Amino acid sequence: MEQYNVVIIGGGPAGLAAAKAAYDEGERSILILERDSLLGGILNQCIHNGFGLHTFKEELTGPEYAKRFEDEVRARGIECRLNTMVMDLSSDKTVTAMNRTDGMFQIRAKAVVLAMGCRERSRGALNIPGYRPAGIYSAGTAQRLVNIEGYMPGRKVVILGSGDIGLIMARRMTLEGAEVQVVAELMPYSGGLKRNIVQCLDDYGIPLKLSHTVVDIEGKERVTGVTIAEVDSKNKPIPGTEEHYDCDTLLLSCGLIPENELSRGAGVEISPVTNGPKVNERLETSIPGVFAAGNVLHVHDLVDYVSEEAADAGRNAAAYVREGNAPETENGTAVTFEGGIRYTVPSTVDTEKMKDLMTVRFRVGSVMKDRIVKVYANGEEIFKKKRRIMAPGEMEEVLLRKTELQKFGGLKTLKIKVEEA
């Protein structure tokens, strides 16, 4: 069986950043496995600009951002196998993969970085009533058709869900000559970035209807129309509020789900909130030596943070190979949270093993104004920051200093709390 020290599953932004960081940490036996025919993942179809503001201090398009990381990986001579699908990951870190030249093969890895990204929530998962004609696409599929394949999926469009991909596609389809009639959003707020609402909808006079959903899809062969209705506070459609739109296309932009079939198969413990692995301060999953980063861990809104997180995972994977798994001194302190926070990554922190400055990322469950985020260690406040506004669509973070946490000797509790200002 082939052996590699660090095997990275996925060659998108997370996988590339992890590979580069593992190399720079001194690791030379690295392999990236990518199922597509090129590196860069979903960035290749995200041709709009706005990527990389944090990392490169300039606004790049998706392909340009991907290329910068691909060049770094190529310059280091890191081995990448493209067109290669990973079929299975076992708990002893044996990776089973296949491609057209090598057939099926197995690799024994000392450490694995999960970087498989996420998938769009499908119509089936949304339970939209109505017929099942052609013309219903996820926003990302439409994005691929328009930007990569060069096809227009439709001419008269309704979009359900105001996630960023849906907003971006509202503009893209409009520019390519389609008539985007309305974007309906189930929630009373948009899950997309404010900038996208203004520059993709307002700029083109496309209405955004909050607290609305699709209640019927018509058309036997091809979509001929959809009906949307307002919903009440329990997300139930309100009778009498139905509006009909003639259209040939319905795009769905209703959330992303981390793609963890391989992780589950290996027995990695998955968080029911993020649908990604539960990880400790080193982004290590419940299986020692298996790390996770990027959208497979939790869905991000900015790729810069994917790269940053994945670089940490890559460094930690290299350190794991070098040092082996240090015997568990303790299981780490659970990160607890209050005040509207839905989850944190990581979910446990070991003050011995954490790096000097560690980022804890989290999301809130509703829009909240004028809040203070506080961190308590053993009940004592060690950090606070004001937030004018917090929204479910925008990831939050706090930085924890190792020296500060170690002052407590034994860290018993670590709590992040959102309080009213």
Contacts to other proteins by CB under 8 A: 37-38, 44, 47-49, 59-64, 67, 146-150, 175-176, 193-195, 197-199, 202-203, 369, 388-391, 393-394
Residue linked to tokens 């009498």: 240
Lookup: tokens for 385: 């920051």
Residue 276 CB, nearest distance to other proteins (Å)?
A: 23
Residue 199 CB, nearest distance to other proteins (Å)?
A: 7
Shorter beta-carbon distance to other proteins: residue 147 or 211: 147
Residue 234 CB, nearest distance to other proteins (Å)?
A: 25
Question: Rounded to an integer, what distance in angstroms lies between the CA atom of residue 117 and that of residue 13?
Answer: 9
Residues 6+ apart with CB under 8 A from 369: 388, 389, 390
Residue 146 CB, nearest distance to other proteins (Å)?
A: 7
Residue 136 CB, nearest distance to other proteins (Å)?
A: 23
Shorter beta-carbon distance to other proteins: residue 332 or 393: 393
Shorter beta-carbon distance to other proteins: residue 163 or 346: 163
Residue 48 CB, nearest distance to other proteins (Å)?
A: 5
Q: Do residues 284 and 263 touch, judged by C-beta distance below 8 A? A: no
Pairing between strand 396-401 and 212-218?
unpaired
Question: Rounded to an integer, what distance in angstroms lies between the CA atom of residue 229 and that of residue 239?
Answer: 8
Shorter beta-carbon distance to other proteins: residue 63 or 133: 63
Residue 211 CB, nearest distance to other proteins (Å)?
A: 17
**Cα angle for residues 404, 406, 409 (degrees, 5° grid):** 130
The H-or-E segment that residue 292 falls in is strand 290-292
Shorter beta-carbon distance to other proteins: residue 198 or 357: 198
Residues 6+ apart with CB under 8 A from 219: 131, 133, 135, 225
Q: Which residues of 39-66 are buried (b: 16+ CB within 10 A; e: fewer)?
A: bbbbbbbbbbebbbeebeeeebbbbbbb
Shorter beta-carbon distance to other proteins: residue 2 or 179: 179
Question: Rounded to an integer, what distance in angstroms lies between the CA atom of residue 198 and that of residue 205?
Answer: 10
Residue linked to tokens 């479910």: 392
Residue 44 CB, nearest distance to other proteins (Å)?
A: 7
Residue 225 vs residues 130, 143, 274, 295: alpha-carbon distances, Å: 10, 21, 34, 34
Shorter beta-carbon distance to other proteins: residue 45 or 274: 45
346 prior amide bond cis, ω within 30 = yes
Shorter beta-carbon distance to other proteins: residue 36 or 404: 36
